[in-house]
Amino acid sequence: DAGVIQSPRHEVTEMGQEVTLRCKPISGHNSLFWYRQTMMRGLELLIYFNNNVPIDDSGMPEDRFSAKMPNASFSTLKIQPSEPRDSAVYFCASSLGLYGNEQYFGPGTRLTVT
């Protein structure tokens, strides 16, 4: 079975440009989570969805960040405009969306903003 799919795997962009990260969750999973990982701050939960509805976006750092889930098989995380401090690895994870269930992580997108 295919796991969580993320694209692109690597993204290098210049400051001020728009960046869109994409995620396809595991089929049948109804919760989707976006994380950011840096050396300084570790693993941070940015936002998560259940049944395509955003449940908690309190981890989104600024208004420059936005996320959407138009259907059960696709989500995007957008940064506009991007800044060098946004450089990080961004992970998407999905789960069956019940208390006690494990999350399955994608391979991540390594974003570098110059």
Partner 1 sequence: AQSVTQLGSHVSVSEGALVLLRCNYSSSVPPYLFWYVQYPNQGLQLLLKYTSAATLVKGINGFEAEFKKSETSFHLTKPSAHMRDAAEYFCAVSDPTDSWGKLQFGAGTQVVVTP
Q: How far apart are CA 95 and CA 79, in angstroms?
A: 24
CB of 28 to partner 1, least distance (A): 13
Which amino acid, residue 81?
P
CB-based contacts of 5: which residues, under 8 Å, 6+ apart?
23, 24, 106
**Which is nearer to partner 1, 50 or 66 (by Cβ)?**
50
Residues that bind partner 1 (CB under 8 A): 4, 31, 33, 42-43, 45, 48, 50, 55-56, 91, 93, 95-108
CB of 30 to partner 1, least distance (A): 8
Q: How far apart are CA 17 and CA 37, in angstroms?
A: 21
Q: How far apart are CA 111 and CA 9, in angstroms?
A: 8
Rg (CA), the chain: 13
CB of 1 to partner 1, least distance (A): 15
**Which is nearer to partner 1, 81 or 107 (by Cβ)?**
107
**Which is nearer to partner 1, 62 or 99 (by Cβ)?**
99
CB of 14 to partner 1, least distance (A): 24
